[in-house]
Structures are given as C-alpha cells and as structure tokens.
Amino acid sequence: MEKIIQFSGGKDAIVCLHLFKNDPDITAVYVNTGAAFPHVAEYVQKMCDNFGIPLITIALEKSVTDWQKENGFPADIVPWDSTPYMQKTSKNYFGATLVPYTDCCSANIYTPLQSFIVENSITDVIRGSKECDKQVGVPDGYVENGVTYHSPLWNWSDEDVFNYIKMYDIPILDNYKDPDSDSLDCWNCTAYMGKTGASRVRYVKENLPEHYDELAGNIALVKSTVQNAIDYYNEGF
C-alpha cells in the first residue's frame, strides 16, 4: 500500500473515490474522531464496499470529546486570555477555555492521518481539496517529505462537483439536502459556524437529539466567552 485517498464521506471526497474506483492500488482512509456522525461512518463503509475499494479506519486512542475537555473548545474567534496558556496566568477570565479550530482538527484528524502516512511509507495521497474552498488545502502535485498530494478537483467549483454527482448518479449523504450543509466530521464541533455551522446544528437537533442539548450548551458557552472578551475590549472606547 503506497497510495491512499483521504475519504471523509463529503461530496468532494466521494467524487474523488469515484474518479479512482478502478485504480487497483487505491486504499481509502477514514479518521473516526470518536464523535463521528453515525450515518457518515456507515456511508463511508458502504461506498467503499460498492466501489470495491479497501477501507482503513483510523480510530483515535482518545476521543475528540476527551481532547476538548483537556484543551478547550474549538472556536472561530479565540480571545487571547481564553487560551489554555493564558487561563493559567491571566486574571481576565472570560468563560470557557477556547482553542483555534485548527488545533482541534490537527490533533484529531490531520496528525493521526500524517502518522499513518509516515508509518506506512505512503507516497501518494489523494484529497478532495478545491481552490475555491473556504479552507484551502494544498494544490495538485504538492510534495512534502517525499509524499505527493494529489488534488484532482483543485480547479473545480461546488457546482462542478454536484453536476458530476448528478451525471453519474452517485449517492451522497442526506445532509446535503440542506443547501448550506457541508462535510460533517464531528457532531460536537463548536467551530466552523456561520451558515454551514447552523446547518450542522440543525442536523444534530433533528437526527441526533440525544446530543443536541450538549452541543447547544457548548456553543452558547463559546459564544458568551467571545462576547465577554468583546465587551471587555470595548470598555476602552
């Protein structure tokens, strides 16, 4: 195994899986953070089975929920005094401990994936990154530490992706019925808010009601922490 496709179950990832379904050297890799949406994990397995592509699921030793308890909630806006370091030294306690969402994603998705790549001597990684995405990945052909990252959808738009899915009648996750929805990684995510975040929260409320109160409470705590910091900042004006 030298070539893998990073398969999250999202719309871009399923197009990549379809593009490479006839490649005998492809193995799909999925990172389960311990807070995966059940329907996503099931879909990932089902589509790999349908395409006859081997799937390896990376399960974390410590769930993302436990990581957040130790490090803080991921957030889009992080006041300096609410970071783990400053919580130990600052008198300005705004509420919850917060971390940039990139810290959480890195610790619970990207780092485990990179460890897998190194440990298994992977030479080629296929990803669904697009230049038009809000979170831009690496361009097609990017090389780092001897690993080539392929982004076959780099110049595609979201419309191109959905047109391809329609053309080949590829099943996609039901959350995409909501036009604001995007790839669903963790049900307990308190970041990536805005329209996509609101869509994710609605999905949890409607489909995972047993988790909704916890998620809504954590988001409210993040929001109040950020607002307290803004109020403190505005006292100087």
DSSP-assigned states of every residue in 23-61: -TTEEEEEEE-S---HHHHHHHHHHHHHHT--EEEEE-S
For residue 182, pLDDT beyond 90 = no
For residue 74, pLDDT beyond 80 = yes
Mean pLDDT score across all residues of the chain: 93
CA 55 remoteness from chain centre: 18
In CATH terms, the superfamily for domain 3-234 is: HUPs (3.40.50.620)
For residue 156, pLDDT beyond 90 = yes
In the chain, % of residues over pLDDT 70? 98
Q: Tell me the mean pLDDT in the region 53-68.
A: 95
Q: Tell me which residue has tokens 């959905």.
A: 162
**Rounded Cα gap, residues 35 and 183, in angstroms:** 14
The per-residue pLDDT for 200 is: 94
The per-residue pLDDT for 107 is: 97
Q: Tell me the mean pLDDT in the region 139-145.
A: 92
Amino acid letter, residue 225: T
Residue 38 in tokens: 């059940």
For residue 237, pLDDT beyond 80 = no
pLDDT 10s digits, 201-218: 999 999 999 999 999 999
Q: Where are the domains of the chain?
A: 3-234
What is the pTM assigned to this prediction? 0.91
Q: Per-residue confidence at 91, pLDDT binned at 50, 70, 90? A: low
pLDDT 10s digits, 19-60: 999 999 999 999 999 999 999 999 999 999 999 999 999 999
The per-residue pLDDT for 138 is: 84
